[in-house]
Structure 1
Amino acid sequence: MRKLIGWAAIAFLAYTVFMCVYLFYLSDTSIPAQLKGSSVDPATFMTPRELLLSEEFSQIKNLLFFIAIPYKWLILILILCFGFSRKFSTWAAAISSKSFIQTAIYVFWFSFLTFILFFPLDFLGYEVSKRYRITTQTFQDWMKDQMTTFWLNYGLMLVIVFVVYILIRKFEKRWWLYAWLLSIPFTIFLTFIRPVIIDPLYNDFYPLKNKELETKILALAKEANIPAEHVYEVNMSEKTNSLNAYVTGIGSNSRIVLWDTTLNKLKEDEILFIMGHEMGHYVMKHIYFGVGGYLLLSLIGLYITRHLVVWIFRRGKDTLRIKDFTDISSLPLLLLVFSILSFAASPLTNAVSRFQEHKADEYAIEMIGNKQAAVSSFQKLTKAGLSQVNPPKLVKIFRYSHPTILERIDFIEKYEDGG
C-alpha cells in the first residue's frame, strides 16, 4: 500500500512539474509570421494589457485543467488504499440490510469526501477566474451552484451505482453489456429533460426581450426547420463576462438560448452569425451523432473496464482494501479505470467535436453570408474570455472541443476564395 501511494504521489508531482514547464516555458503560442497584422493576430484587436492577461489566464487555467484529472485519480487511489471505501461500505451495511439504503449511505459519504478533497482545486479555479474578471459570481452564489451540482450528481450517481451493482452481482461476466443497454434510454432521457429541468436549476431562462431580434432568429430557425416558437435569454451576466449561445434539447424540448452577455456585447449581425452556427449543429444532427458516439465509446469503455478491474482486483485487492469485486467498496476502482480510459479517448472525441464545430462555422457562413460579422464575433469572444488565439498543441489535443480562434478566423478569411 505504501509503495502504491508513494509511486502515485511521485508520478503526480513529476507530471505537475512537466506540465508547468511545458505550459509556461516550452510551448509556442505565437502567431505564424505570415498571419502577423491580419485579423487573426490578437495584436490587431486586443490591447497590450489584454494580450498579457489572456496569456497569463490561459496558462493558469490550462495548468489547472491538466492537474485536475490526475488529481482526481490520486484521490480515488487514496480512498481505496486508506480504507475509506471499505469503511463506508461497512457503515452502510451496519445501518441497514436493504441494498438501496446501503447504496444511498455509501454514495453520500463517498461523494462528500471526494467533494471535500477536490474543493481546493475548484475554489482555486473560481478565484483565478474572479481575479481575471471572467467570473462575476459572488462566492455565495458560486457555493450555491456547487451544492446544486453536488446533490444533482448524488442523485444521478445513486441511481447508476445501485443499478450497476445489481447487474454486477447477478451477471458477473456480462454486467457491462447490460449496464450499457440500460444507459441508452437513460442518456436519451437526460438529453431530453436537460433544457427544461436541469439547466433552470442554475439560471433563470425567459423569452428574449428584443422581439425584433427574436423575429430574425426565428426566421433563421424556420429556414433551418428547427421547431422553435421562442428564443430564450439567460442571465449569465450574474456569473460571467464570457459570451455564448446554443441550441439544445431534442424533439419538442429543443431550445434556442442566448446568454445576456452575448446580447450586451455583440452587434445584431454578429449574434445572427453565432445563432447560424448553433443552428448548424441542429441541422447536421450533431447532438444525435454526439449521443451515438458517446454510447459507442461507453460500450468499449465498459468492456475494457470490466476486464481491467477484474485483473487489478485479483492482484491488489488487499492493497486496495476491497472486500469483494461485487461489493460497493470497489466503486472507486471502477471510476478510476473508466476515468483513465475517458481521458485516453479525449483526443479522439475532441477531434470529432472540432470537425463538427468547423462544419457549423461553414454552415453559418453560407446561411448568414456575413464574413466580417463572423470574424468580429470570434475576436470579441476571444477578448471576453481572455482566450489564446493559438494555444499549445497538447492543450488543443486534450482540451479543445472547438477549433482554435486562429483556425476559425483564418478559415473564414479564406472562405470566399474557395474555402
Structure 2
Amino acid sequence: MIRKWAMRAVIAYFLFGTAMYVYLFFIADTAIPQMYKGTSADPATFLNARELMLSEEYSNIRNLLFFLNKPYQWLFYYLILLFGISAAFERWAKKTSKWFSLQTLIYLFWLSLASFIVTFPFAYTSYLFSKTYQISTQVFSSWMRDQLIDFWVGYATMAVVVLVIYMMMRKYKKRWWLAVWVLSIPFSIFMMFIQPVVIDPLYNDFYPLQNKQLETKILSLADEADIPAEHVYEVDMSTKTNALNAYVTGVGSNSRIVLWDTTLERLDDEEVLFIMAHEMGHYVEKHIYKGIAGYILLTFAGLWITAKLMDLWVNKRGKIWKVEGTANISSLPAFLLITSVLLFAASPLTNWVSRYQETRADQYALEMTEDPAAGVRTFQDLTRAGLSQVNPPYLVKIFRYGHPTMLERINMAEEFKQQVSEE
C-alpha cells in the first residue's frame, strides 16, 4: 500500500511537470499584441535578435524550474512521512536527549539536512543556468557559501518557530494555532526590524552611497516626499549577478533604501532617480505596513486551516506514518507540506496585491520625477539585464509576478507621457 501511494505521488509529479513543460514551451503565447508592435514596449525595438532569443529561452527554463520545484518539495515532505523517515528522525532525537527542546533541535537538524540534500540539485541547476545565460557572475565557492549561510540562517529561524509551534501544540491541544498566531505577530515584526542590519550583511557588504552628488539628488527627492532619510545604501552585487535591483527593507529606524552596485553602473542618474522615486512611493503609500497587516491576516487563516487539516490527516494516516499524534515533532513534514501548499494556492492573491502596490509606486515615480522617458528606459534596461519576458504567460504572471509585466509598466509610462504632452 505504501509503495502504491508513493508511486502514485511520483507519477502525479511527473505528469504535472510534463504538463507545465508543454504549456511553457509549446502552448503559452508570449508575443506582443499587434497594437504594441513597433512601440517602446515591443522588445524587438530595444533588444537585438540574440537578446530576444536568450530572454525567451532563459525565462522558459526559469519558469519551468519554479513550477517543478514547489511540487518537488511537497513530494519530499510526503515521502518522508510515508516511509516513516520522519518517525525515525524523532526516535533518534529521543534517544539522544530526554529534553523536548533539544529533541526538537536534533530532529529539525536531520530534517533540514535531508531537505538541503534532496533540493540541492534544483538550486544547483538554477545556478548553472544563470551562469550559462550570464545572469550570475558568482563563482561556485561564493555561491556555495551563500547556500550554507542559507542553511544555517534557515535552521536557526526554523528552530525558534518550530519550538514555539510544538510547545503550543502540547500546551493547547485545540487552540494551539491561535496561540502561535498571536506570537507570530511580534516575531514577524522583529524579523523585519533586524533583517537589514543582522541577516542581509551576512551575504553582502552594505555601505553608504559613494556617489555623493547622486545621493544629494536622491535625498532631495526624499525631502520632497517628506521621508526622513539620511543615507542611501549601495550593496556589492556585481560579484554575484549582472541583474539590476533596488529595494526598501526593514521597518522603523532600521528601514533602508538599497541600490545594487550593478544598477549604479548600468543606469544613468535619471533612471536611478526614477527607481528611487518608485521606492519612495512604497514608503509614502505605507506598503510595508500594509504588507505586515495582510501577512498577519493570511497567517491567521492559514494556521486555522493547517490545524484542521493536520488533525484530520494525522488521525487518518498517523499509524501508517508511525506518527503518534499532531503534537509529535515527527508530524512537522505534514505541517510544512500543508502550509507550503496553502501559500502556493494563495500566491495569485498575494501577487495581485503586490502588483497593485508596485503599479502605485510606478505611478508615484512618474508623477514625482515627471520623467516618463527615464521610466521607459529603466524598464527596458531591467528587461535586458534580467533577460525577462516583456509579456509572460498567464500562469507565470499570476503565480510568479509580484510586479506588473514590463509590457504593462512601459505602457503606463508611455500613457503618462501622452497625458503630459496633452496638458
Q: TM tier, shorter chain?
A: over 0.9
C-alpha offsets along residues 43-89 of structure 1, whole Å, 9 cap, x if unaligned? Answer: 00000000000000000000000000000000001111121111111
Match of 1:302, as an amino acid?
L
Aligned to 2:106: 105
C-alpha offsets along residues 318-345 of structure 1, whole Å, 9 cap, x if unaligned? Answer: 2323132211000000110111111100
Aligned to 2:247: 246
User: TM-score, normalization: structure 1?
Assistant: 0.99
Matches of 1:4 and 1:305, distance apart in 2: 22
Aligned to 1:62: 63
What SS does the corresponding residue of 1:258 show, helix, strand or coil? strand
Q: Aligned pair 1:207/2:205, yes or no?
A: no
Matches of 1:417 and 1:224, distance apart in 2: 25
- Using the TM superposition, give the Cα deviation of residue 240 of structure 1 relative to its aligned residue in structure 2, in angstroms: 0.4
User: TM-score, normalization: structure 2?
Assistant: 0.98
Q: Aligned pair 1:176/2:177, yes or no?
A: yes
Match of 1:183, as an amino acid?
S
What SS does the corresponding residue of 1:388 show, helix, strand or coil? coil
Aligned to 1:261: 262
- Using the TM superposition, give the Cα deviation of residue 8 of structure 1 relative to its aligned residue in structure 2, in angstroms: 0.8
C-alpha offsets along residues 128-147 of structure 1, whole Å, 9 cap, x if unaligned? Answer: 00000000000000000000
Match of 2:65, as an amino acid?
L
- Using the TM superposition, give the Cα deviation of residue 386 of structure 1 relative to its aligned residue in structure 2, in angstroms: 0.2
Aligned to 1:302: 303
Matches of 2:378 and 2:154, distance apart in 1: 34
Q: Is the 8 A contact 1:227 1:254 kept in 2?
A: no
Aligned to 1:40: 41
Tell me how many residue pairs correspond in the alignment: 419
Q: Is the 8 A contact 2:29 2:393 kept in 1?
A: yes
Q: Aligned pair 1:292/2:293, yes or no?
A: yes
C-alpha offsets along residues 271-303 of structure 1, whole Å, 9 cap, x if unaligned? Answer: 000000011001101011111111111110000
Aligned to 2:131: 130
What SS does the corresponding residue of 1:238 show, helix, strand or coil? coil
Aligned to 2:7: 6
What SS does the corresponding residue of 2:262 show, helix, strand or coil? helix
Matches of 1:194 and 1:224, distance apart in 2: 25
Match of 2:6, as an amino acid?
I
What SS does the corresponding residue of 1:236 show, helix, strand or coil? coil
Structure 1's consecutive aligned runs of 4 or more residues displaced over 6 angstroms after TM superposition are: none
CA RMSD, 1 decimal? 0.9
Q: Is the 8 A contact 1:86 1:323 kept in 2?
A: no
What SS does the corresponding residue of 1:382 show, helix, strand or coil? helix
- Using the TM superposition, give the Cα deviation of residue 197 of structure 1 relative to its aligned residue in structure 2, in angstroms: 0.7
- Using the TM superposition, give the Cα deviation of residue 223 of structure 1 relative to its aligned residue in structure 2, in angstroms: 1.7
What SS does the corresponding residue of 1:243 show, helix, strand or coil? coil
Q: Aligned pair 1:334/2:335, yes or no?
A: yes
Q: Is the 8 A contact 2:315 2:325 kept in 1?
A: no
| Uncovered stretches (5+) of structure 1, i.e. residues with no partner | none
Q: Aligned pair 1:387/2:388, yes or no?
A: yes
Match of 2:406, as an amino acid?
I
- Using the TM superposition, give the Cα deviation of residue 401 of structure 1 relative to its aligned residue in structure 2, in angstroms: 0.4
Aligned to 1:271: 272
Give the alignment of 1:115-154 within 5 angstroms.
Answer: 115-154=116-155
Matches of 1:372 and 1:415, distance apart in 2: 10
- Using the TM superposition, give the Cα deviation of residue 247 of structure 1 relative to its aligned residue in structure 2, in angstroms: 2.0
Match of 2:225, as an amino acid?
A
Q: Is the 8 A contact 2:105 2:159 kept in 1?
A: yes
| Uncovered stretches (5+) of structure 2, i.e. residues with no partner | none
Matches of 1:301 and 1:35, distance apart in 2: 41
- Using the TM superposition, give the Cα deviation of residue 418 of structure 1 relative to its aligned residue in structure 2, in angstroms: 4.6
Match of 1:93, as an amino acid?
K
Q: Identity, % of aligned pairs?
A: 58
Aligned to 2:235: 234
Match of 2:165, as an amino acid?
V
Match of 1:64, as an amino acid?
L
Matches of 1:196 and 1:128, distance apart in 2: 31
Q: Is the 8 A contact 1:266 1:377 kept in 2?
A: yes
C-alpha offsets along residues 172-221 of structure 1, whole Å, 9 cap, x if unaligned? Answer: 10000000000000000011111111110110001111100000111111
Matches of 1:283 and 1:238, distance apart in 2: 32
